[in-house]
Structure 1
Amino acid sequence: MCYYISLLSEAQELEEFFDATYQGEPYHKEFRINGFANPKIPVILDREPNHIIPAQWGFLPSWAKDREFAKKTLNARMEEVHDKPTFKNSVSNRCLIPVNGFHEWKHLDSKGKQKDNYLIKIKNQNIFTIGGLYNIWTDPSTDQELLTVTIGTTDANPLMAEIHNTKKRMPILLSKHNQYTWLDDVPVEYFLYPEYDPELEAENLTNTEGAATLF
């Protein structure tokens, strides 16, 4: 799964990379962003590819009673979205989530008491995107509208299976040359491993030698 992303790029850098304009309140910038805090992160919607706007990480379907539900929907298993009540009405609501990387932990023992933290990126790209789904949720208590998003996930490729060695999942990682294909409503199956297998690199941030190592 993917519950921690890394994003330190300023809005101007994102604007230059995507040739788009940032609009709205500031988004969360941090080396390790905790999704369970439901932070505001920048996104590009399929209907507005020339704009970057903030959205809440944590998807809220129209029938959600309150915002607490968003802690359960940071990720969406893309193999199941057509059948899941939470996501099935939003499969065509595609968005790009810009990041500098994402964090995952490798379990070094059976109980997960010892772990190594890895920062994973698309090779040779400081900025890339994660494929997501979105919904505009209306708070029933205030009638306030809120843009909410989830990160799409798939089975892990060999590198990610080695790192995420419990669940063996990874997010839908999109390079600059194919990111807008995700917005074109191409069937999600096209982006699932092994049909789609991006070239990744992973940095071990917690190895015992105190220096970074790369996969």
Structure 2
Amino acid sequence: MCYQTKILKQKEELLERFNAAIDALNDYEPIEFCSAFEYPKTPVITKEDPAKIQLFNWGLIPSWSKNVSIRNYTLNARIETLNEKKSFKDIVQNRCLIIADGFYEWQWRNKSGSKKEKYLITLPNEELFAFAGLYTQWTNFDNTKLNSYTIITTQANKLMSEIHNTKQRMPVILKKEDEKPWLQGEDYNAFKFPYSCDLIATALPENPSQLGLF
């Protein structure tokens, strides 16, 4: 799963990394702890407009939804069941890149989960990256429009299995060379486990040790 991310890079760094216009980022502010359940606006690049970085809300609201409450259940989308779930099966080609430079996960230290350790997961050197995502536009009863997204998840790799040791899931972080193919609609099955980038996990805050590179 993936419910807390971070994006601390300045918008000029986003421009350089993704070679996209930042004129839609006037309201962008770096966020150290970005909680999915606050439905924040974060930087994305869509298939429809790949030359622009925009701000979309986390928590996908399908076009057919009567209200926004469904987004509690669409923060993530399991890649294995995209063609089965009503919220996703008709928009599997609505691809987007969700820009971040890290995400957080909790390791259960006992069976009940009363003891947990928090980890920051990044690329080496905390480089910018993109989660694989889907997006849509929803129209409210007053004709206002809301753009929103979901983060694709897959089975955890070795590193994330050690950390997310209950659900054993992880977000799909795209390799740089695969960002364009994802946007252009390459078969999403190609991004299932064991597809993975090199990741580093740093325990927070009491134990600043790092878990391996996988």
Q: TM-score range by the shorter chain?
A: over 0.9
d(CA) in 2 for partners of 1:109 and 1:28? 37
Is the 2:172–2:196 contact (alpha carbons within 8 Å) kept by the matching residues of 1? Answer: no
Name the structure 1 match of 2:47: 46
Deviation at 1:124, TM superposition (A): 4.4
Name the structure 2 match of 1:102: 103
Deviation at 1:122, TM superposition (A): 2.4
Name the structure 1 match of 2:169: 169
- Indicate how the Cα distance of structure 1 residues 206 and 114 shifts in structure 2: closer, same or farther if over 3 A, else same: farther
Deviation at 1:184, TM superposition (A): 1.7
Is the 1:42–1:54 contact (alpha carbons within 8 Å) kept by the matching residues of 2? Answer: yes
Q: Secondary structure at the match of 2:53?
A: strand
Confirm whether residue 202 of structure 1 aligns to residue 201 of structure 2: yes
Deviation at 1:211, TM superposition (A): 3.2
- Indicate how the Cα distance of structure 1 residues 4 and 14 shifts in structure 2: closer, same or farther if over 3 A, else same: same
d(CA) in 2 for partners of 1:71 and 1:129? 22
Name the structure 1 match of 2:114: 113
Name the structure 1 match of 2:67: 66
Confirm whether residue 123 of structure 1 aligns to residue 124 of structure 2: yes
Deviation at 1:28, TM superposition (A): 4.9
d(CA) in 2 for partners of 1:180 and 1:26? 26
Give the TM-score of the pair, scaled to structure 1: 0.93
Deviation at 1:69, TM superposition (A): 1.6
TM-align CA RMSD: 1.4
Is the 1:122–1:173 contact (alpha carbons within 8 Å) kept by the matching residues of 2? Answer: no
Name the structure 1 match of 2:149: 149
Deviation at 1:125, TM superposition (A): 5.0
- Indicate how the Cα distance of structure 1 residues 161 and 185 shifts in structure 2: closer, same or farther if over 3 A, else same: same
Q: For 1:134-157, what per-residue CA distance to the aligned partner results, in whole angstroms no more than 9, with x for missing partners?
A: 001111x21111111000000000
Deviation at 1:197, TM superposition (A): 2.4
Give the TM-score of the pair, scaled to structure 2: 0.94
Is the 2:75–2:151 contact (alpha carbons within 8 Å) kept by the matching residues of 1? Answer: yes
Unaligned runs of 5+ in 2: none
Q: Mean Cα displacement is larger for which, 51-60 or 180-189? A: 180-189
Deviation at 1:67, TM superposition (A): 1.5
Aligned residues: 211
Q: Secondary structure at the match of 2:49?
A: coil
